[in-house]
Chain A
Amino acid sequence: MASLDDLKKRIMSVKSTQKITKAMKMVAAAKLKRAQESAERGRPYSEKMNNIILNLSLGVADKESAPKLLSGSGKNQIHLCVVMTSDRGLCGGFNANIIKKAKNYFSDVTKEGKEIKIITVGSKGNDQLKRLYGDKIIENISFKDSKNANFFDAEKVGKIIIEKFDKEEFDICTIFFNQFKNVITQIPQAQQIIPLNAVNENQENLNESYEFEPDEDEILNNLLPKNISTQIFKAMLENSASEQGARMSAMDNATRNAGEMVDKLTIEYNRSRQAAITKELIEIISGAESL
């Protein structure tokens, strides 16, 4: 059994760890609120954007002449995967979930004999992927310096992707991120952004005929790159809300576990102290008896 001194030290150290996790939980909770708000505020923009593109893509009659960002390059040989993770750790399974989802996708695609290329956003994803897929990572982007997810950063990522698409470096682009459902649930998502999968959810009100100025093709050409940035920005917002949520629940668990540990250690400490006292008493009594 450990000595009394050792136990005391142990208790102190667990207690101070508990203080740290508690503080981190508080910080995450405060940040979560902000991240959640901005994720909600960002939704109308991407929804409207989606709607307009949906209307436009229905208006494009001739699929052959449609912009490549919409219809794809006609092949599906090279897959570009944008894996979006956080820059900081200590957030439970947040990063691991995205990585797992991405790795599954990688192995599926590789099995079909296709090639993958990876762009990592956020340093944690890069750290975890570079061991297995180091040669596939073509770019690593990190926004450690910017405090909140902002559109400017998303645009940077979007530009890189479009540039690579124009050079025909890949055929299909998918982004991986965590969708924020609530504080304890985040769902890892894979969303294909090139070519665009237009989802017709509410087909009825799409019969609206629009006037376009200039023509559809030109608007689409102008709009599609913007849509990519928008989708990435949406993913960034969802991700940052998810990250804070995951961190909050992870830290909450850690605080609780530390509490349990302190209780256990205290009992052990008290027991061994009592044992020492009893031992001393026995020694005194048996000494007195022998006299």
Chain B
Amino acid sequence: MSEEFKIDIVNPEKYFLTKDDVIEVIVPAFEGEMGILKDHISIISFLKPGVITVRTKSNDEKFYVEDGIVEFKNNNLSVLTSNIINIKDLEKSKVQDLIKIAEAEANKSGMNDQVKFLADQKIDTLRSIN
């Protein structure tokens, strides 16, 4: 039996990525990284800043996301996100810029714990990519 399922990554402007031969997807869900294989139970969760790994037989692709929602149902994985970049296309200088923005965000005063957590998470992820 095949172990493959379908993934759609959608951003507001277009279909970002569609694949139907995915073996495993690792998403940075809000409460920790989550690996999704075929026949996973239906689930809805949202993302924190991190890296999505899409694994097919032939290769792995990695994407940097800042936020989003995942829905898995009937072996269809939908990822809705407004900010997504393929790490291959992400240049070092761009990462530096993003880190700067994130740091400015994290240092703002008067925010609640959740926002702070997300900002810190963003910085960690970006540093690890860099």
Contacts and interface: CB of A to CB of B under 8 A. Distances in A.
Interface of A: 38, 41-42, 44-46, 48-49, 51-52, 55-56, 150-151, 154-155, 208-214, 219, 222-223, 226, 230, 233
Interface string B28-47: 01110010000001111110
Contact of B12 (A208, A219, A230): A230
> What secondary structure prevails in chain A residues at the interface with B?
helix
A151 B14 CA distance: 11
B71 A233 contact: no
Which 6 A/B pairs are nearest by Cβ-Cβ distance? A41-B14, A151-B12, A213-B45, A211-B43, A45-B10, A210-B42
Interface of B: 8, 10-15, 29-31, 34, 41-46, 67, 69, 71, 73, 78, 80, 82
Given A48-B78, A209-B42, A211-B41, 12 more contacts: A38-B14, A41-B14, A45-B11, A52-B71, A55-B44, A155-B82, A208-B42, A210-B42, A210-B73, A211-B42, A211-B43, A226-B82
A155 B10 CA distance: 17
Given A151-B12, A223-B69, A52 B31 contact: no
B45 A219 contact: yes
Contacts of A223: 46, 69
A45 B80 contact: yes
18 contacts: A41-B13, A41-B14, A41-B15, A42-B13, A44-B8, A45-B12, A48-B78, A49-B69, A51-B71, A52-B69, A151-B12, A208-B42, A210-B73, A212-B43, A213-B43, A213-B44, A219-B69, A226-B67
A233 B10 CA distance: 14
A48 B8 CA distance: 11
Given A49-B80, A52-B69, A151 B13 contact: yes
Contact of A214 (B10, B31, B67): B31
Nearest to B78: A48
B44 A219 contact: yes
Given A41-B15, A42-B13, A45-B10, A213 B80 contact: no
Contacts of A52: 44, 69, 71, 80
Contact of A48 (B13, B30, B67, B80): B80
Given A52-B69, A211-B41, A212-B45, A42 B30 contact: no
